[in-house]
Amino acid sequence: MSDPINIRDLAVGSLVILGSGAEAEIVSNPNDGVWLFARYLSSPDDPAMVGQEEMIFAQDVLEVRS
Amino acid sequence: MTMNGTHGYRPGLVDLASGQISREIFVNDDIYAEEQERVFARSWLFVGHESQIPNPGDFFASRMGEESVILCRDRAGAVHVFLNSCRHRGMKVCRYDDGNTSVFTCPYHGWSYGTDGALVGVPYFREAYRSELDKTKWGLVEVAQLCCYKGTVWANWDASAPPFREYLGEFRRFLDLILDGWDGREGQAELLGGVQKWLIPCNWKFPAENFSGDSYHNISHRSVDLVGVGPSGRSRRDMSELNASRKLHVAIPDRGHQTITYVMPKDHQPQAAYQNSPEVAEYFRHCEEERRRRPGANSRLIGAPGEIFPNVALLPRQPRTLAVWHPKSAHQTEVWRFFFVDRDAPKEVKNFLRDYYIRYSGPAGMTEQDDMENWNYAHAASRGTIARRYPYTYEMGLGHAIEDYEYEGLRMPGRVIDLTTAQASEEPMRNLYGRWAQFMEADSWDELMTWRRNDRSVAEAAK
C-alpha cells in the first residue's frame, strides 16, 4: 500500500491519477484535506467525464503526476 | 411539552400583579430546557455584522441560543445563516472562528457543503450510494428567516415569526442609536476588532435583566467612578448633557424590549467630551453638531443600556457595543461582546475608543467585572432548596408607568417612567419577564403577536 497523499500540498495545475484510472487536473484546492476540484483529462471507465469539473475525494487520489 | 408540571415552568412563577418572580426561572434545569424551545427557537437572535463577512466565501462561526451556526456570504454575495452540523452524523462542519472558504467540509465522513449550503460532495457517491442519494434534500439546515438591518444580521428558526422590523416595533429607534453614525447618518457602524467571548456562571437572564435598564445598581460601579476610566479622565463616562436631559425608562410591552434613554431639551448645545485627546474631542464636537442639524426624533435622544428580547443588550454610547447572552445551561452563560465605531472615523478616534472600550467592558473591563460579580454570586446564592422558596421583588414603580409620554414635543413609545427625579424603577424588568412568560405559555406566534389583534380590532372598530 502506497503512502497516503497529503492533498493539501497539491497546487492548482497538478495532475492526479484517480482510483478509477482517470487522470484529472486540479483547478482549485479548498485546503480542507478532504476534497479537490479537478477537471477530467481522461476517464477510461466513463469517457463522458472528460472535460467535466468534479469534486475529487482525497482517498480517490492514488498518484500525483506533476 | 407540559406546561403544568411541578418541575418545569408553570403560570404564576412570574406574577406581575404583585411584582414577584420566582427564583425557579433562573435556576431550574427543566425551565431552562423549555425556554430553549419556547424562547430561543422562536425569537429573532443577533448573529453578527456584515462587516465581519465582506467578501464571497467569508464566514463567522456564531451562535443562536445553544446552537452553533455559520454566518457566511456565498459566491454570489448573498448572506446565509446555517446550523453548524453535518446532515449525515451531526459533526460540526466549521470549527474555525472565522475565515474564508469555498466549502464547509465535515471531517468525520467528508460530506462537503458549498457556501450556499448545498451538499456538493459525498464520498463514494457513485460507488456506495449508487448515485441514489438526493443531495438536494441534504443541504445544511438554514434559518427560516434572516434580516440584514443596517449591517447587523439577525435570524430566526421560526417561519411563523413576524418580520424583524415588526418584531422590533417602535423599539427600532433605540437600536438605530448604535447603528447610525455619531453625526446621525444612517447605518455607519462597523465592528471594531474581534468579538470578546467569555463564560460566566449564572443564568442568561441575570445580565439580560441588568441591561434592560437597571439603574438601581449604580452603586456597584462606585469604585470605577472613583478610579475615573472615562474618556475625559473622570467617572465612567463623560456625557454631561445627561444632567440637562430627562432620564426615562421606556418599555415596549407587546414586544419585550426595554431601555433607559435620555431626552435632551430642544436646542441643547454639545458639551465638552473626550477631553483626554484634543483630536478626539474635536471630532465628537463636530459629530454632535451635525447630529443636531439632522431632522428626526433621534437627534434629541441619548442612548443608554437596553435589551432586545430575549438576549441582546444595547449600549449605544460610551462604550458603543452590543452584547449577546448565549445560554449554555441554566447555570452558565457565554457572553459575546461586539464593539462598534463609525467606519469612516479617523484612525486616531478608533484607537482611542479601542482603549476606552477595553478598559470599560469585557472580562477584563472594570465596569463589567463589577456586574459579573453581582450576577454570579446572586445566581449561586439562589440555587439552594431554601433560597428557591423566596421570590425576588420587582415592585419598584409598579403602577406608575404612563403611556403617551412627551417631552418638549418629542413623544416616546410604550410605557414610560420618568427617572429624572424617581432615580430608578423596575418597569423594564417587569416588561422583560412579562414577555418571557408569554413566550413560555404561548403555543404559537399567533398568540404572541398581540399587536396584530389590536390592529385588527382598531380596523374593525373604524369600519
Report whether pLDDT(B287) > 50.
yes
CA closest to A30 among chain B residues: B102
The mean pLDDT of chain B is 94
Going by pLDDT thresholds of 50, 70 and 90, the confidence category of residue B236 is confident
Report whether pLDDT(B271) > 90.
no
Residues of B in contact with A32 (CB under 8 A): 101, 103, 105, 112
Report whether pLDDT(B101) > 80.
yes
pLDDT for the residue B40 = 98
Report whether pLDDT(B459) > 90.
no
Report whether pLDDT(B82) > 90.
yes
Q: Which CATH number fits domain A7-64: 2.40.50, 2.30.30, 3.90.660, 1.10.287?
A: 2.30.30
pLDDT for the residue B62 = 98
**Partner-chain residue, chosen from B102, B105, B124, that has the shortest CB–CB distance to A28:** B102
Going by pLDDT thresholds of 50, 70 and 90, the confidence category of residue B5 is very low
Q: Once rounded to an integer, what is the mean pLDDT over residues A2-26?
A: 94
The proportion of chain B whose per-residue pLDDT surpasses 90, expressed as a percent, equals: 85
**CB pair distance less than 8 Å for B103 and A35:** yes
Task: Please provide residue B420's backbone torsions phi and psi, each rounded to the nearest 5 degrees.
Answer: -55, -40
Task: Please provide residue B204's backbone torsions phi and psi, each rounded to the nearest 5 degrees.
Answer: -65, -20
Q: Once rounded to an integer, what is the mean pLDDT over residues B368-392?
A: 96
**CB pair distance less than 8 Å for B110 and A30:** no
Rounded CA separation B339/B193 (Å) = 8
- Beta-bridge partner residues of B60: B71, B98
Residues of B in contact with A7 (CB under 8 A): none
pLDDT for the residue B297 = 67
**Per residue in B347-358, pLDDT tens?**
999 999 999 999
By three-state DSSP, how is residue A8 classified?
helix
Report whether pLDDT(B393) > 60.
yes
pLDDT for the residue B146 = 98
Q: Once rounded to an integer, what is the mean pLDDT over residues B305-317?
A: 96
Q: Is B429 exposed, middle or buried (0-12, 13-18, 19+ CB in 10 A)?
A: buried
Going by pLDDT thresholds of 50, 70 and 90, the confidence category of residue B295 is confident
**CB pair distance less than 8 Å for B123 and A57:** yes
Going by pLDDT thresholds of 50, 70 and 90, the confidence category of residue B3 is very low
What letter would DSSP give residue A6? -
Distance from the Cα of B154 to chain A's closest Cα (Å) equals 28
Residues of B in contact with A33 (CB under 8 A): 105
CA closest to B111 among chain A residues: A34
What residue ranges define each of the domains in chain B, with the CATH number in brackets? 45-145 (2.102.10.10), 170-448 (3.90.380.10)
Which ipTM score applies to this complex? Answer: 0.81
Residue corresponding to grid cell 457565554: B334
pLDDT for the residue B462 = 66
- Beta-bridge partner residues of B327: B333
Q: Which residues of chain B from 91 to 110 reach within 8 Å of chain A, CB to CB?
A: 101-103, 105, 107, 110
Q: Once rounded to an integer, what is the mean pLDDT over residues B149-160?
A: 98
Going by pLDDT thresholds of 50, 70 and 90, the confidence category of residue B132 is very high
Distance from the Cα of A65 to chain B's closest Cα (Å) equals 23
pLDDT for the residue B335 = 98
pLDDT for the residue B227 = 86
**CB pair distance less than 8 Å for B112 and A58:** no
Report whether pLDDT(A37) > 90.
yes
Q: What count of CB pairs under 8 Å joins A to B? A: 30
**Per residue in B406-453, pLDDT tens?**
999 999 999 999 999 999 999 999 999 999 999 999 999 999 999 998
pLDDT for the residue B386 = 97
pLDDT for the residue B2 = 40
Single pTM value for the model:
0.93
Q: Once rounded to an integer, what is the mean pLDDT over residues B336-361?
A: 95
pLDDT for the residue B270 = 86
All three cell numbers of B47? 448573529
- Taking each helix axis from N to C terminus, what angle separates B347-360 and B366-380, rounded to the nearest 10 degrees? 30
**Distance, first Cα to last Cα, chain B:** 41
pLDDT for the residue A42 = 97
Q: Once rounded to an integer, what is the mean pLDDT over residues B239-245?
A: 87
Interface with chain A: mutation pick from B72, B93, B94, B102, highest number of A CBs within 10 Å? B102
Q: Which residues of chain A from 24 to 43 reach within 8 Å of chain B, CB to CB?
A: 28, 30, 32-35, 37
* Closest by Cα among A20, A33, A61 to B105: A33
Report whether pLDDT(B303) > 80.
yes
Contact (Cβ atoms closer than 8 angstroms) between residue B87 and residue B140: yes
Going by pLDDT thresholds of 50, 70 and 90, the confidence category of residue B6 is low
